């Protein structure tokens, strides 16, 4: 699809991670159809920064995170991490570079191997790469368990099902941090947790970031959570980026429509048919243009402030505070009406 550009990216020298024009397609069905999970996504993260990636469910956030890790490699696009183009390396070199990037997943319990003990789960990265001897690895695991707020004596020999969701997420954080990565991609790390535990895990992530000098990509569907932790936020919608900027000045989240929930318990065949037809025509129509709505009469529309950028999903126009209000050229010039006469009544021609 047409490129949406990289105008919002900062200088490459200042960034730890720079993703340009990332496209991820998945095969769908036997007729060669494809799901465009991510279309032309570009983003960057500076060292020590937390980039929030927010958007509704299914908009391609996790796919973007995994494509950065090359799991699986993207269909096209460039992923520059600490001066290395991850798309151009493979095998041993890719695996070694990837130790610098870790991931924390949404479901804390199922992301941990149920058959292994916690000490083995946390030490796995160190064991694979043969870091230090057995006793130093053991010591590191104990230190890490203490740092994430678990008692090493109790936790070491247990298995994941013996912990709560919040405790399992602490173990996932310990496992991610123990290999001393530069970047951690947190894929909805608090979505499956209670609100009270969410705050504890967010605080723990902040502490770990400060303590180990980490850089975070924080994925979530809840803008309030992302605003809490991020220095810069990228909003995704239908596989594309539609807004980038300071978390306090975002506008897109209020303007992107959310489909109403389905309330009918058992739809009749006619209603089901009508709903299916409406759904397929909604899928065919291009995404709504929140920027046009904002420039027009949408209630509460705000201009992008403090260096934030916002973008029209349909025509790829970017807007900043200096270019606001945006004026759009009319999409299709109206053709002149065919004249029925050789002249108008005012210039003395014949009246039709």
Ligand X SMILES: Nc1ncnc2c1ncn2[C@@H]1O[C@H](COP(=O)(O)OP(=O)(O)O)[C@@H](O)[C@H]1O
Sites of contact with Mg ion (CB under 5 A): 62
**Closest alpha carbon to 239 in 30, 50, 78, 34:** 34
Query: Which of 16, 17, 22, 37 is close enough to bind ligand X by CB under 6 A?
Result: 37
- Class of residue 344 by CB neighbours under 10 A (exposed 0-12, middle 13-18, buried 19+): exposed
Residue 220 binds which entry of ligand X, Mg ion, none, CB below 5-8 Å type-dependent: none
Q: Does 60 bind ligand X (CB under 6 A)?
A: yes
Residue 140 binds which entry of Mg ion, ligand X, none, CB below 5-8 Å type-dependent: none
Distance CA 14, CA 85 (A): 16
Q: Does 317 bind ligand X (CB under 6 A)?
A: no
Q: Does 71 bind ligand X (CB under 6 A)?
A: no
Shortest CB 337 distance to ligand X, Å: 45
Residue 234 binds which entry of ligand X, Mg ion, none, CB below 5-8 Å type-dependent: none
Residue 228 binds which entry of Mg ion, ligand X, none, CB below 5-8 Å type-dependent: none
Which listed range, 57-65, 87-95, 114-122, 262-270, lies at the site for ligand X (CB under 6 A)? 57-65
Which listed range, 39-47, 58-66, 145-153, 246-254, lies at the site for ligand X (CB under 6 A)? 58-66
Residue 169 binds which entry of Mg ion, ligand X, none, CB below 5-8 Å type-dependent: none
- The rounded radius of gyration (Å) of the Cα atoms in the chain is 25
Q: Does 58 bind ligand X (CB under 6 A)?
A: yes
- Class of residue 87 by CB neighbours under 10 A (exposed 0-12, middle 13-18, buried 19+): middle
Distance CA 239, CA 37 (A): 6
C-beta nearest to Mg ion: residue: 62
Q: Does 160 bind ligand X (CB under 6 A)?
A: no
Q: Give the nearer residue to ligand X in terms of CB position, either 61 or 98.
A: 61
Q: In what order do the strands lie in the sheet with 33-45?
A: 33-45, 17-28, 76-81, 84-85
Q: Does 63 bind ligand X (CB under 6 A)?
A: yes
Q: Give the nearer residue to ligand X in terms of CB position, either 62 or 111.
A: 62
Q: Does 39 bind ligand X (CB under 6 A)?
A: no
The residue count for binding ligand X (CB under 6 A) is 11
Distance CA 119, CA 15 (A): 34
Q: In what order do the strands lie in the sheet with 232-237?
A: 101-104, 183-187, 215-220, 50-54, 232-237, 240-245, 309-311, 318-319
Q: Give the nearer residue to ligand X in terms of CB position, either 34 or 134.
A: 34
Q: Are 65 and 219 in contact (CB under 8 A)?
A: yes
Shortest CB 61 distance to Mg ion, Å: 5
**Closest alpha carbon to 184 in 16, 14, 8, 10:** 16
Shortest CB 62 distance to ligand X, Å: 3
CB neighbour list of residue 240: distance below 8 Å, 6 or more residues apart: 4, 39, 40, 41, 287, 313
Q: Give the nearer residue to ligand X in terms of CB position, either 39 or 167.
A: 39
Q: What is the DSSP letter of 262?
A: P
Which listed range, 55-63, 93-101, 144-152, 316-324, lies at the site for ligand X (CB under 6 A)? 55-63
Which three-class secondary structure state does DSSP give residue 240?
A: strand
**What are the structure tokens assigned to 347, written together?**
């210039």
Residue 2 dihedral angles phi and psi, to the nearest 5°:
-60, 145
CB neighbour list of residue 71: distance below 8 Å, 6 or more residues apart: none
Residue 60 binds which entry of Mg ion, ligand X, none, CB below 5-8 Å type-dependent: ligand X
Residue 346 binds which entry of Mg ion, ligand X, none, CB below 5-8 Å type-dependent: none
Residues that bind ligand X (CB under 6 A): 26, 35, 37, 55, 57-63
């Amino acid at each position: 699809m047409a490129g949406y550009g990289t105008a919002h990216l900062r200088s490459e020298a200042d960034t730890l991670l720079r993703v340009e024009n990332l496209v991820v397609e998945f095969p769908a069905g036997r007729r060669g159809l494809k799901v465009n999970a991510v279309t032309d996504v570009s983003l960057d993260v500076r060292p020590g920064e937390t980039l929030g990636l927010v958007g509704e469910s299914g908009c391609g956030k996790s796919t973007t995170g995994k494509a950065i890790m090359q799991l699986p490699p993207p269909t096209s696009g460039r992923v520059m991490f600490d001066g290395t183009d991850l798309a151009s390396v493979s095998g041993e070199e890719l695996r070694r570079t990837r130790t610098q990037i870790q991931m924390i997943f949404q479901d804390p319990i199922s992301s941990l191997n149920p058959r292994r003990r916690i000490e083995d789960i946390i030490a796995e990265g160190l064991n694979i790469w043969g870091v230090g001897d057995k006793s130093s690895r053991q010591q590191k695991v104990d230190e890490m368990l203490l740092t994430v707020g678990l008692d090493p004596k109790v936790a070491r020999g247990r298995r994941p099902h013996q912990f709560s969701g919040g405790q399992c997420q602490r173990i996932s954080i310990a496992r991610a941090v123990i290999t001393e990565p530069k970047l951690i991609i947190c894929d909805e790390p608090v979505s499956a947790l209670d609100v009270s535990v969410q705050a504890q895990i967010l605080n723990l992530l902040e502490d770990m970031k400060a303590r180990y000098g980490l850089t975070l990509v924080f994925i979530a569907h809840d803008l309030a959570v992302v605003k809490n932790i991020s220095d810069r936020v990228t909003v995704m919608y239908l596989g594309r980026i539609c807004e980038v900027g300071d978390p306090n000045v975002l506008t897109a989240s209020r303007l992107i429509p959310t489909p109403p929930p389905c309330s009918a318990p058992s739809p009749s065949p006619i209603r089901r048919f009508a709903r299916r037809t409406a759904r397929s025509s909604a899928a065919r129509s291009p995404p709504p243009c929140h920027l046009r709505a904002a420039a027009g009469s949408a209630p509460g529309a705000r201009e992008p402030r403090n260096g934030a950028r916002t973008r029209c999903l349909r025509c790829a126009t970017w807007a900043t505070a200096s270019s606001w209000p945006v004026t759009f050229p009319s999409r299709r010039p109206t053709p002149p009406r065919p004249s029925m006469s050789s002249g108008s009544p005012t210039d003395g021609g014949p009246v039709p």
